[in-house]
Amino acid sequence: MSGKEMTGDRGSDQRAHWDRVFGVAGNYFGEGASEFGNKALDIFRNMGARDVLELGCGQGRDSCLFASEGLNVTAMDYSETGVRQMRERVAGLCLSPVVRCLVRDIRTGIPLPDASVDAVYSHMFFTMELKEAEVRFILDECRRVLRGGGVNLFSVRNDHDPHYRKGVHRGEDMWQSPAGFVVHFFPEEKVRRLSKGYDIVHIKEFEDPADQYTRVLYEVLLRRP
């Protein structure tokens, strides 16, 4: 075993890591949509949204929920394995006409026209290995593709999470777990700072129980003025 493997230092190839993880488990985050996705659906229905963009869609559990409830969905993720599995899931549910799945490293921008979606959604995407400058750029991109009055709803793990400051420090507020995931943790002040250019509708803490621990996250709802 190399020194890097012994220390849990797998470098920062998170894209390959997600490909491996999804390759082993077809439903890595469970069978159905997330609770956060269900909450998002209520928000999108109440505002009369039609076109939704999901960032970091993984294997597509939440995009499939939105599409099965009548929304037009564009979903993107940099894991080719995740997107391939999502396409299969979408086809199996006969949702292909209303879901567009793209393999994309979102740090390179969002390939959609200005003012073309009503809502941007992401669950545990901004909390990945993204530097603050990259988060800022992607939030600007989200604002660009949103129609006026459109919303950006996302979740990020926060500084009350049991894994905050645990594992190998990867710079800024990022730590790598023994399982190899690099997580970016957000104090509320950082969320507020990054929300510049949006109206903040709310920042609410919630818990997401997983097998061995409970994640602690912020639900952030921003509106494009």
Residue closest to 221 by CA, chosen among 187, 195, 197, 196: 195
What is the three-class DSSP state of 179? coil
Is residue 184 within the footprint of ligand SAM (CB under 6 A)?
no
Cβ-based nearer residue to ligand SAM, 149 or 210: 210
- Report the distance separating Cα 140 and Cα 79, nearest Å: 23
Q: What are phi and psi of 218, to 5 degrees?
A: -100, 135
What would you measure as the largest C-alpha separation in the chain, in angstroms?
55
Is residue 106 within the footprint of ligand SAM (CB under 6 A)?
yes
Residue closest to 129 by CA, chosen among 74, 70, 172: 172
Cβ-based nearer residue to ligand SAM, 36 or 198: 36
Stretch touching ligand SAM by CB under 6 A, among 42-50, 64-72, 100-108, 110-118: 100-108
Cβ-based nearer residue to ligand SAM, 82 or 167: 82
Cβ-based nearer residue to ligand SAM, 57 or 146: 57
- Report the distance separating Cα 4 and Cα 63, nearest Å: 36
Instruction: Name the β-bridge partners of 101.
Output: 75
Is residue 64 within the footprint of ligand SAM (CB under 6 A)?
no
Stretch touching ligand SAM by CB under 6 A, among 67-75, 93-101, 118-126, 205-213: 118-126
| Sites for ligand SAM among residues 119-158 (CB under 6 A) | 123-125, 128
Cβ-based nearer residue to ligand SAM, 13 or 199: 13
Is residue 34 within the footprint of ligand SAM (CB under 6 A)?
yes
Residue 156 corresponds to which tokens in the numbers above?
């990020």
- Report the distance separating Cα 39 and Cα 36, nearest Å: 5
Which of 61, 89, 190, 224: binder of ligand SAM (CB under 6 A)?
A: 61
Binding residue count for ligand SAM, defined by CB under 6 A: 18
- Report the distance separating Cα 81 and Cα 91, nearest Å: 15
- Report the distance separating Cα 35 and Cα 114, nearest Å: 30
In whole angstroms, the minimum distance from the beta carbon of 200 to ligand SAM comes to 22
Is residue 13 within the footprint of ligand SAM (CB under 6 A)?
no
* 168-169 vs 174-176, strand pairing mode: antiparallel
**Site for ligand SAM, rule CB under 6 A:** 18, 29, 34, 56-58, 61, 77-79, 82, 105-107, 123-125, 128
